[in-house]
Amino acid sequence: MKKQQSGFTLIELVMVIVILGILGAVAFPKFADLTTNAKRASMQGALASIKSAAAIVHAKALVTSATAGAANIAVEGGTVTAIDGYPTADSAGIGSAAQLTDYAVATGGGTAGATVQIDLVPALTNCFITYTAANGATPASALFTQTGCP
């Protein structure tokens, strides 16, 4: 009786490896680019969160007549330090209001017009958000610097 052997030939195995190599070479750069886009999108999401949180705190300040000088404004989730009706430029102000737990909020200030830099962790060079606290009639603002984002 003759025994029939089955399996893949060497040529078939080499062809499969070549095809997988080609697919990997084409797919890998696209996958690597997704992480770049994800970092930029994460910062844009944080910027939107900062702007929304500042608007919510300001609305609460208007309702409670706390639009002049320093104040503590109670919002859902805790108390936010505010200056001129907007969150202060520190972790107790905008950091707390926007709940930026995955971002590094640099030491800013609780005074009118103070600024704070908000980065991803780990920080990227020239890829950050600058939040400026309100100063009298000038409302708070946030700006995304993305020249160094990958």
Q: How far apart are CA 44 and CA 67, in angstroms?
A: 28
In a domain, 138, yes or no: yes
Which residues on adjacent β-strands are paired with residue 78?
75
Total number of domains in the chain: 1
Whether the model clears a pTM of 0.85, i.e. scores above it, the answer is: no
The 10s digit of each residue's pLDDT in 36-46 is 778 888 889 99
Whether 116 is in a domain gets the answer yes
Cα distance between the two ends of the chain = 66
41 domain residue, yes or no: yes
Asked if residue 2 belongs to a domain, the reply is: no
- 81 occurs within a structural domain: yes
pLDDT in tens, 27-82: 777 776 677 778 888 889 999 999 999 999 999 999 998 888 889 998 887 899 99
Q: What is the DSSP string of 12-78?
A: HHHHHHHHHHHHHHHHHHHHHHHHHHHHHHHHHHHHHHHHHHHHHHHHHHHHTT--SSEEEEEETTE
Residue 1 located in a structural domain: no
Which domain does 47 fall in, by range? 12-145
**Is 37 among the domain residues?**
yes
Question: 116, exposed or middle or buried, with CB in 10 Å at 0-12, 13-18, 19+?
Answer: buried
